[in-house]
Each structure stands twice: as structure tokens, then as C-alpha cells.
């Protein structure tokens, strides 16, 4: 066989891949028992299925050839220009083997297979190596241990050896070691292979498509600063995907994969969708900074980069033009989405995240149309979206959140609608300086501390009563904050609930009183009891009635003495005499005509002081009631 690849020997799977690459044919190297039976004429199980027209035309052409019995048709196919064997090479041609594989896929296989992957012998071997090897070998990289595991598989699994494809072969094909055929679209489409080694495509400009389905990759896939078309790794077992600053012109699909040591997509740009639904992702906790490329001989690494060891998806600055679908994932570590932009929304329903550090989702300053972390989303760790800009909805509806300190941190967030209605939540909530169009919550949404200073909202949607709201305002761990009271009162006033607004402002004054000195607290208690800080003017009227009644009774029992008997006689009225003491200015001339005696002098002086206090309180209360409504906080 004439080879344009720089390799002296190729495995059976590599030979089939090299033969199929110029035409972009699918190469399925799985054992026949592991293949899924598909209807006649269907395409391989992938969201981006190959065009059925081309595949059907190939099968139809072969069927026609078999029916007419022409022995010369095989020579008409361009792919048959590749020769690779003795006289019986017609049965060994790559195209024939691809055709036979398609026929076996259509005729055999388990129809009831529940999409189970082949036994993960790589991870089993890796586990054995970790159990029997030295725990103190700091100089061993995880990739080396995986390659040792592959060696074990090759020694003990004859069936797997026929499925081995070296990463160097894939790299050589993608970088143009074998040209495509005229009129065909070259691509690597590989199913069920065992890829050995690191796939190093850093800085490459790829014009062909790379699709791996149900493959196991024992090394690191390195796409740092690469430019490529659509990438698909479906239902694969990967060690680590490193794709910082990559440019993907199309879809980046990692759906259903197991990624042991995390994914890096920092400052990457995906023009299509990002599909990661169903992934199982671990964090590179056992990688050192130097092994992971975060430090060198002279640069020891930034202290903040230590967080990468607790981050399963490191995607700060990521830009996704389409939707980012991360549903149903199982993540050990955190998601770092610092400064990322999701123009088509971020969807995390039914995803489970177990943080090994502080953050489960670190999405500070991200921008998105929608962020959905509800409907089965489960996180152990802090959800932080500080300074983010979400034009639509941020949803925690139906989520299960748990954290030792803060469960939700949205300080300086700007969002159209915030649905803070989780199924369960443990930990505090920080909504400080958040701007919300609509805040939907429940009283049980705040089981711990609630930081609300600076929170601004236009509308509330909640079954919470006014008592619940007042309790909500007192949950700040640092005590009294005036702005949340003013904001809630302004909201009630804006929707026409003036009475509730005054109750909130009264609660504000009572909370403020606890921060005053002893003298200030005493004066506050007096004002609260007499006039309710001016928010309960009816209390002043009640006190006025009580004092007026008491004075009338006292001066009825102990009448005062008339002053100036030579003047015309005057008729004494205890009620009018008491009222004349209560009003700040004498109106009935009773105070000047009659003088109290004995202990009633103190009663008269108390009536004068009470009159001034009550008059001031009534004026203040009347001003609050009659002033124009203010919709601001």
C-alpha cells in the first residue's frame, strides 16, 4: 500500500481511517456485538448525521453492482486506486471493509441496547495502576498513567488492539498529510476507537471536520489557539480537553462525554452552539501548575490560578453565539464562566455540581440572554453571578442549592427577571446592589442571612405577607440597613398600598432605634408610644382624648380659683378649661381667668406640655398623610 503518511506501520483501524479520510466516510471499529442495529438506510447515531443522500447512494451503487454482477465496477471508484494486499485484495480494500461494516450495522447488533458504552477497560486499568503504583511519584503526569493503562489493554485485550488509533495519525490527517479527493469533503469520522497519545493541534488551522463517537482518548486533546470547523466528541471517554482561545466555526459538541481532568475553554469563540449535555466532568486536582501549563521555570503561577485545580470547566471569557446547553451534567469541581458571553442563553437544568472549592458556578460579569439553573439543577457550593448582565431571566426555580456560607451571590447583577424559588436552599443569599425588573421569591427562599442593601426592584411576585417582608428586611448579618426599608415602602406606595408603606417606614424607625444611644432609644420609645413616629396620627388623637378626659375629671373635682373677682362673673367649665391648657394658644380665655391650686398646678403644667407635644406630632402625622405620593425609594 502506498502511503503518504510518515508512518511505517498502521494498525487495522488506522488503515481504515486513512482510506476513508479523503471521502469523509464513517469508520466504525467497534466489535459487532457492541454496535446498535439501525434501520436500513439510516446514518450513524449523531446529532450532525452525515447526509443520508450520499450514504444511500453509496449503498445503492454497491447493491446495483452485486445485482448486475459487473466485475469492473470496483475499478470505477476513486478510492480503489489505493492498493493494499495480495491477489485477494478486493476483499481487503478499505472501501469494501467500510461497506461490510455498514452491512453488518444494518443486519446485526442488539436492537434493545440501552446506549451502554463498552466496558471501560481504560479506567479499570488506570485504577489498578493507581492502586499498585507509588503514591509519591510527583513527576508522573496523568497522561503517562493513561498510556500505561493503554499498554496494559493492548497486552491483554486482543479485540481492543484492532481498535487502536494513534493520535499522531489523526493529527497528520487533519494537518494535510493526505489530500482529499476532488468532489469530496475530507473529514475524520471515527466510531468506537481507542485513541492513544496526546492529540496536539495547538495553533493549527483545520479545514476538515473532526467527529469522534464512543471513542476513548488516553491523552490530552490540545486545541489551544487553533482555528477549526465543527468539533464533535460524542459519548467519548477523554482525559482532558484543553482549548483555550480556540475559534470554532460551527458547533462544539462534547455531549455525553466523560472528561476526567476537566475542560479549558478560556477566551474561546464558538460561532454555533456549545453542547455539553450529559457530560461527566472532573477537575484536574492532581495536576501541578507546571504540568497543566499554568507555570514555568521562571513563572511560578498566579495565586488565583490555584483555583483551576478545583474547576472542572475553566471558561472565562468564552463567547458562544448560539445556545450553551449544559443540561444533565455531573460535575466534580466548579464551572468558571467569569466574563463569558452567551448570546443564545445558558441552560443548566438537571445538572449536578459538587464543588471541591468555594464555587459551584463562578459566573461573575457574564453576559447572557437567559440563564436557567432550575428544574432539577443541584449545586453544592456558591453560585456567584456578581456584576453579570442578563437581559432575560435568571431562574433558580426548582433547584436544590447548598452552601456553607453564601448559596446565591448576585451583587451588582442587572437582570430582567429573577426567579429565586428553589426547591430547597441551605446558606445565605446576597442580593446587594442588584437591579431586578421582577423578583419572584418565597419566604423560605431565605433560610439564612439575606444581604439586601442596594437592592432595587420594580415588582415583586410572591405569596409572602407584609410580616414576611418585614422579617426579610431584618436578616442582614450586619444589622440595620435603611435602604431596603425605603425600597419596600416605595414599592407598596407605587402599587397603592399606602397603609403597608407606612408600616414599613414605622418598622424602619424601630430598627434604627436599636442603633442609637440610651437617651436616643428612650426618646424613640416615647415617640413610638405617643404618635408612632408620626406614621400613626390616630395615636395622637387617642392620647389627646385621654388627657382631655383626665384633666376634665381632675378640675371637676378640684376647681381652680377665679382671678379678678371685681370683674364680671365667669362660668367655669372644666372641659373647656382643660382644652384651653392643651392647645398651644389660649382660645377660650379660661386659662387666664382661673388659676389651679395645690397639686393641680402640676396637672395644668403637664397639660400645657402635652398639648405642645401632641400638636407637633399631629402636624407631622398630617404632613405625612397629605403629602403627594412619591414612587421613589
Write out pLDDT tens, residues 427-458. 999 999 999 999 999 999 999 999 999 999 99
Beta-ladder partners of 28: 191
* pLDDT band at 521; cut points 50, 70, 90: confident
Q: 45 Cβ partners below 8 Å, 6+ apart? A: 36, 38, 213
Of 28-37, 243-252, 362-371, 513-522, least confident by mean pLDDT is: 28-37
Q: Which three cell numbers stand for residue 286?
A: 492532581
Residue 378 pLDDT greater than 50, yes or no? yes
* pLDDT band at 181; cut points 50, 70, 90: confident
The average pLDDT across 167-182 equals: 90
DSSP string across 477-545: TT---HHHHHHHHHHHHHTT-HHHHHHHHHHHHHHHHTTS-HHHHHHHHHHHHHHGGGT-HHHHHHHHH
Q: Which helix (H) or strand (E) holds 420?
A: strand 414-420
* pLDDT band at 233; cut points 50, 70, 90: very high
* Boundary (domain end) residue, out of 98, 119, 140: 119
Beta-ladder partners of 459: 438
In a domain, 54, yes or no: yes
Of 138-152, 414-428, 513-527, least confident by mean pLDDT is: 138-152
Q: Contact 578/608 with Cβ under 8 angstroms?
A: no
pLDDT value, residue 157: 52
- Supply the Cα-derived Rg of the chain in whole angstroms: 40
In a domain, 584, yes or no: yes
Half-sphere exposure of residue 443, counting CA atoms within 13 Å on the CB side? 10
Of 71-75, 141-145, 186-190, 332-336, least confident by mean pLDDT is: 71-75
C-alpha 250/C-alpha 519 separation (Å) is 71
Write phi, then psi, for 501 (nearest 5 degrees). -60, -45
Write phi, then psi, for 291 (nearest 5 degrees). -65, -40
Total domains, the chain: 2
**What count of other Cβ atoms lies within 10 Å of the Cβ of residue 458?**
12
Range of the domain at 584: 534-626
Q: 205 Cβ partners below 8 Å, 6+ apart? A: 226, 227, 228
The packing angle between helices 466-473 and 482-494, to 10°, is 150
Q: Which three cell numbers stand for residue 417?
A: 427577571
pLDDT value, residue 592: 73
The average pLDDT across 594-604 equals: 85
In a domain, 154, yes or no: no
pLDDT value, residue 564: 65
Q: Contact 307/283 with Cβ under 8 angstroms?
A: no
Q: Which three cell numbers stand for residue 88?
A: 485477494
* pLDDT band at 37; cut points 50, 70, 90: very low
Of 93-97, 164-168, 479-483, 525-529, least confident by mean pLDDT is: 93-97
* pLDDT band at 18; cut points 50, 70, 90: very high
In a domain, 318, yes or no: no
pLDDT in tens, 118-152: 334 434 544 544 454 444 444 444 445 445 545 54
* pLDDT band at 246; cut points 50, 70, 90: very high
Q: pTM for the complete prediction?
A: 0.73
C-alpha 46/C-alpha 48 separation (Å) is 5
Burial class (CB in 10 A: 0-12, 13-18, 19+), 335: buried
* Alpha-carbon dihedral 226, 228, 233, 237, rounded to 10 degrees: -20
* pLDDT band at 609; cut points 50, 70, 90: confident
In a domain, 334, yes or no: no
C-alpha 504/C-alpha 437 separation (Å) is 21
The average pLDDT across 2-16 equals: 76
DSSP string across 218-287: EEEEE-TT-EEEEEEEES-EEEEEE-TT-EEEEEEE-TT-EETT-EE-TT-EESS-EE-TT-EE---TT-
Q: Which residue has the higher pLDDT, 163 or 624?
A: 163
Residue 54 pLDDT greater than 90, yes or no? no
* Boundary (domain end) residue, out of 119, 154, 175: 119
* pLDDT band at 543; cut points 50, 70, 90: confident
Of 129-143, 354-368, 457-471, 476-490, least confident by mean pLDDT is: 129-143
Q: Contact 191/30 with Cβ under 8 angstroms?
A: yes
pLDDT value, residue 617: 66
* Boundary (domain end) residue, out of 84, 102, 119: 119
Q: Contact 14/161 with Cβ under 8 angstroms?
A: no
In a domain, 95, yes or no: yes
pLDDT value, residue 47: 44
C-alpha 416/C-alpha 387 separation (Å) is 14
* pLDDT band at 484; cut points 50, 70, 90: very high
* pLDDT band at 90; cut points 50, 70, 90: very low
pLDDT value, residue 476: 93
Residue whose C-alpha is closest to residue 446's, from 412, 471, 416: 471
Amino acid at each position: 500500500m502506498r502511503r503518504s503518511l510518515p508512518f511505517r506501520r498502521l494498525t487495522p483501524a488506522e488503515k481504515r481511517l486513512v482510506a476513508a479520510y479523503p471521502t469523509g466516510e464513517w469508520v466504525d471499529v467497534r466489535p459487532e456485538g457492541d454496535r446498535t442495529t439501525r434501520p436500513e438506510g439510516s446514518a450513524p447515531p449523531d446529532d450532525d448525521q452525515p447526509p443520508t443522500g450520499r450514504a444511500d447512494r453509496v449503498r445503492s451503487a454497491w447493491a446495483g453492482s452485486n445485482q448486475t454482477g459487473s466485475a469492473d465496477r470496483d475499478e470505477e471508484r476513486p478510492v480503489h486506486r489505493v492498493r493494499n494486499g495480495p491477489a485477494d485484495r478486493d476483499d481487503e480494500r478499505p472501501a469494501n471493509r467500510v461497506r461490510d461494516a455498514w452491512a453488518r450495522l444494518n443486519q446485526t447488533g442488539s436492537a434493545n441496547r440501552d446506549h451502554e458504552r463498552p466496558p471501560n477497560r481504560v479506567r479499570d486499568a488506570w485504577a489498578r495502576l493507581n492502586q499498585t503504583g507509588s503514591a509519591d511519584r510527583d513527576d508522573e503526569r496523568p497522561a503517562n498513567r493513561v498510556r500505561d493503562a493503554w499498554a496494559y489493554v493492548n497486552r491483554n485485550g486482543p479485540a481492543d488492539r484492532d481498535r487502536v488509533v494513534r493520535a499522531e495519525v489523526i493529527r497528520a490527517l487533519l494537518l494535510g498529510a493526505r489530500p482529499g479527493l476532488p468532489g469530496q469533503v475530507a473529514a475524520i469520522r471515527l466510531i468506537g476507537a481507542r485513541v492513544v497519545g496526546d492529540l496536539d493541534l495547538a495553533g493549527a488551522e483545520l479545514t476538515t471536520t473532526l467527529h469522534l463517537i464512543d471513542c476513548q482518548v488516553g491523552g490530552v486533546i490540545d486545541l489551544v489557539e487553533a482555528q477549526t470547523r465543527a468539533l464533535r466528541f460524542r459519548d467519548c471517554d477523554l482525559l482532558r480537553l484543553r482549548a483555550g482561545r480556540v475559534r470554532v466555526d460551527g458547533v462544539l459538541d462534547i455531549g455525553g462525554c466523560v472528561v476526567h481532568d476537566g475542560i479549558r475553554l478560556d477566551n474561546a469563540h464558538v460561532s454555533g452552539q456549545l453542547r455539553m449535555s450529559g457530560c461527566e466532568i472532573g477537575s484536574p486536582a492532581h495536576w501541578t501548575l507546571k504540568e497543566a501549563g499554568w507555570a514555568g521555570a521562571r513563572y511560578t503561577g498566579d495565586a488565583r490560578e490555584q483555583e483551576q485545580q478545583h474547576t472542572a470547566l475553566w471558561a472565562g471569557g468564552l463567547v458562544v453565539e448560539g445556545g450553551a446547553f449544559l443540561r444533565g451534567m455531573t460535575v466534580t469541581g466548579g464551572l468558571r464562566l467569569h466574563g463569558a458571553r452567551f448570546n443564545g442563553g445558558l441552560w443548566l437544568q438537571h445538572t449536578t455540581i459538587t464543588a471541591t472549592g468555594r464555587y459551584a458556578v463562578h459566573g461573575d460579569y457574564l453576559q447572557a440572554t437567559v440563564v436557567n439553573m432550575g428544574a432539577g439543577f443541584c449545586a453544592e457550593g456558591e453560585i456567584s453571578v456578581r456584576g453579570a448582565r442578563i437581559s432575560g431571566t435568571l431562574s433558580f426555580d426548582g433547584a436544590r442549592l447548598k452552601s456553607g456560607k453564601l448559596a446565591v451571590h448576585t451583587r451588582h447583577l442587572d437582570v430582567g427577571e429573577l426567579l429565586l424559588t428553589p426547591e430547597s436552599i441551605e446558606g445565605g443569599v446576597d442580593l446587594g446592589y442588584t437591579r431586578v425588573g421582577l423578583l419572584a421569591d418565597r419566604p423560605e427562599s431565605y433560610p439564612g442571612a439575606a444581604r439586601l442593601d442596594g437592592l432595587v426592584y420594580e415588582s415583586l411576585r410572591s405569596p409572602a405577607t407584609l410580616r414576611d417582608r418585614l422579617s426579610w428586611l431584618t436578616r442582614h448579618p450586619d444589622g440595620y440597613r435603611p435602604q431596603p426599608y425605603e425600597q419596600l415602602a416605595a414599592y407598596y406606595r407605587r402599587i397603592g398600598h399606602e397603609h403597608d408603606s407606612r408600616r414599613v417606614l414605622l418598622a424602619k424607625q424601630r430598627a434604627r432605634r436599636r442603633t442609637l444611644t440610651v437617651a436616643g432609644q428612650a426618646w424613640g420609645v416615647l415617640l413610638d408610644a405617643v404618635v408612632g413616629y408620626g406614621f400613626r396620627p390616630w395615636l395622637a388623637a387617642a392620647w389627646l382624648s385621654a388627657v382631655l378626659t383626665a384633666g376634665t375629671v381632675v378640675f371637676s373635682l378640684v376647681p381652680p380659683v377665679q382671678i379678678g373677682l371685681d370683674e364680671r362673673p365667669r362660668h367655669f367649665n372644666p372641659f373647656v378649661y382643660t382644652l384651653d391648657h392643651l392647645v398651644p394658644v389660649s382660645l377660650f380665655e379660661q386659662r387666664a381667668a382661673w388659676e389651679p391650686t395645690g397639686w393641680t398646678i402640676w396637672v395644668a403644667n403637664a397639660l400645657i406640655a402635652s398639648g405642645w407635644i401632641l400638636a407637633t406630632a399631629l402636624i407631622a402625622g398630617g404632613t405625612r398623610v397629605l403629602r403627594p405620593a412619591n414612587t421613589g425609594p
